[in-house]
Amino acid sequence: MREIGTLALSAGMAAAAGLVGCFAVMRRMTLASDAISHVALPGIGIAIAFHVHPLLGGAAALLLGTLLVWALEHRTRISTETVIGVVFSTALAVGSLLASGEDLIDALLGAPGEIGGWEIALGLAGALAVIAFVLAQRNRLVVALVSPDMARTAGVDVSKLDLAFLLAFALAVALGLRYLGVLLMGSLVIIPAATARYLARSLGGMLGMAVAFAVASTLAGGLLAARIHRPTGPVIIAVAAAFFFASLLARARR
Amino acid sequence: MANVLEVEHLRVSFGENEVLGDLSFAVPEGSVLAVIGPNGSGKTVLFQALIGSVPHQGTIRWSEGVRLGYVPQKLDIERDLPVTGADFLRAKAAISGASHGEIGRALSLVGLEPGAARKPIGTLSGGQFQRLLLAFALLAHPNVLLFDEPTAGVDERGGERIYETIRRLQMEERMTLLLISHELSVVYRYATSVLCIGRDHPCFGAPKEILTPEMIASVYGAPVKYHHHDA
């Protein structure tokens, strides 16, 4: 029973990452997404120091980081890329100082280990929330992506939608921290979606393919990592990257 | 006739740079307002202020029950964005509660073939893309249409077709039309009133009063004071 729950959780986490990733890729947030996931590290470090569950610390730090990005984008004229580059690299440095040894390696690269029942339930609820958000809001998200001004005249509150999307993004990253770690979770959001973008010709096609690639990479990577005794994160991303390069070849032939 | 839009002492600034200074005008229901002015005079910014996407000072008062349709000038769409015209129109229909039948109606109103709507939007020609944006704006029955340079990037025949379409829509559906255009002959033919934003004071009046050689020279003639890119 526990095994089925763990499997469902990793599939749900991956599906959430794939869906959020589609809009992150189309909004050209590729680099930002990677950097945002790094901000979880100091949260994890502080949580370990205070003997709190590391993922709670990571999630809290992600929430703060997300609010910061949104505020910078909407309230100031500072270049978002500059700020992300500075703030999030600093977060990575500070986080590495706070955590150490085994804990640091696990936090950076991911180590699923034993997952408790309540963690599975909470994680599944989070994954379902992200999936439901993207599917329910995909029309608003796509119109705002093509033209924020046209979205406004269609009655979309673009600024609120941006915030909701960034929060869904942060939640998707938090869900995957245990599997992929701080360094690589951003890549599970981006790579399957980028693969789907190369192959798909419509929005529905892209969303479906991104979910399929993310889930397949996560499940196959998880199994392979256990067999070759390596951290899960790098193996999952290696599988996802293999799909990506295969998609480049497939498109070149088309 | 009642006014759909009343604007008083509208100002828009980006930082210390004033892009629009002290504009006042009114738009009666069912009329056509053309906005003219040289590049960089803030015509697009005016539309963005009217739809509430840039902060402004002064008053912008839309009448009650106004439903806006907005067609922007140019959009930077990547060629391989996997979003089809149909995806885009269905999204608007879902947001605004319009039926699928209305998508077909909007497509035939603007004369866009269903085959083109099934292609990714980044692969459409300039004219096809412009008609797709117009179809998007027409979904959910707007009563005011804001159109920024309807024929920019469209060949001459396509441009004429777009003007014929908006003219027909405006007559048949009693729509109020706000139009940014460089084509003074079109403005002269279609507009009920003209607002010019130039280097000096803005002017506002009937096409016959505004489109005189002296006025045009004063609007377009001298170098513009502010360099703001419309894109």
CB contact under 8 A, B81 and A149: no
Q: Tell me the nearest-neighbour CA distance from B93 into chain A, angstroms.
A: 9
Q: What is the pTM of this model?
A: 0.87
The answer to whether residue A61 sits within a structural domain is yes
**What are the pLDDT digits (tens) for A53-62?**
888 888 999 9
The answer to whether residue A238 sits within a structural domain is no
Contacts of A139 in chain B (CB under 8 A): 90-92, 94-95
Task: Identify the CA nearest to B46 among candidates B8, B18, B20.
Answer: B20
The answer to whether residue A62 sits within a structural domain is yes
**What are the pLDDT digits (tens) for B172-194?**
878 899 999 887 877 888 888 99
CATH number for the domain that contains residue A111: 1.10.3470.10
Classify B205 as helix, strand or coil.
strand
- Asked if B136 reaches chain A (Cβ–Cβ under 8 Å), the answer is yes
Average per-residue pLDDT for chain A:
87
Contacts of B83 in chain A (CB under 8 A): 26, 142, 145-146, 202-203
Contacts of A138 in chain B (CB under 8 A): 91
- In degrees, to the nearest 5, what angle opens at C-alpha A248 toward C-alphas A244 and A254? 140
Question: Is pLDDT above 60 for B224?
Answer: no
Q: Tell me the nearest-neighbour CA distance from A143 into chain B, angstroms.
A: 7
Question: Is pLDDT above 60 for A150?
Answer: yes
Instruction: Establish, for the pair of chains A and B, how many residue pairs have beta carbons separated by less than 8 Å.
Output: 77
CB contact under 8 A, B91 and A147: no
Question: Which fold does the domain B1-66+144-149+176-226 belong to in CATH?
Answer: Rossmann fold (3.40.50)
Task: Identify the CA nearest to A190 among candidates A164, A163, A167, A217.
Answer: A217
Partners of B205 in the beta sheet? B194
How far CA A141 is from CA of A145, B95, B150, in Å, comes to 6, 11, 25
Question: Is pLDDT above 60 for A72?
Answer: yes
Contacts of A205 in chain B (CB under 8 A): 82
Structure tokens at A117: 């029942």
State the best of A22, A146, A198, A207 to mutate against chain B, taking most chain B CBs within 10 Å: A146
User: Residue A134 has what pLDDT?
Assistant: 97
ipTM: 0.86
Please tell me which residue of chain A has the smallest CA distance to B118: A202
**What are the pLDDT digits (tens) for A209-251?**
999 999 999 999 989 988 998 888 899 999 999 999 999 888 8
Give the Cα separation of B4 and B80 in Å (integer): 40
Give the Cα separation of B2 and B226 in Å (integer): 34
| DSSP designation for B84 | B
User: Total domain count for chain A?
Assistant: 1
Domain span holding position A68 = 2-183
Q: Tell me the nearest-neighbour CA distance from A153 into chain B, angstroms.
A: 6
Q: Tell me the nearest-neighbour CA distance from B177 into chain A, angstroms.
A: 15
- In degrees, to the nearest 5, what angle opens at C-alpha A86 toward C-alphas A83 and A91? 115
Give the Cα separation of A68 and A2 in Å (integer): 37
Partners of A187 in the beta sheet? none
CATH 3.40.50.300 placement within chain B: 1-66+144-149+176-226
The answer to whether residue A18 sits within a structural domain is yes
How far CA A247 is from CA of A190, A210, A250, B204, in Å, comes to 14, 12, 5, 57
A interface with B, Cβ–Cβ < 8 A, is 26, 77, 138-140, 142-143, 145-150, 152-156, 196-198, 200-206
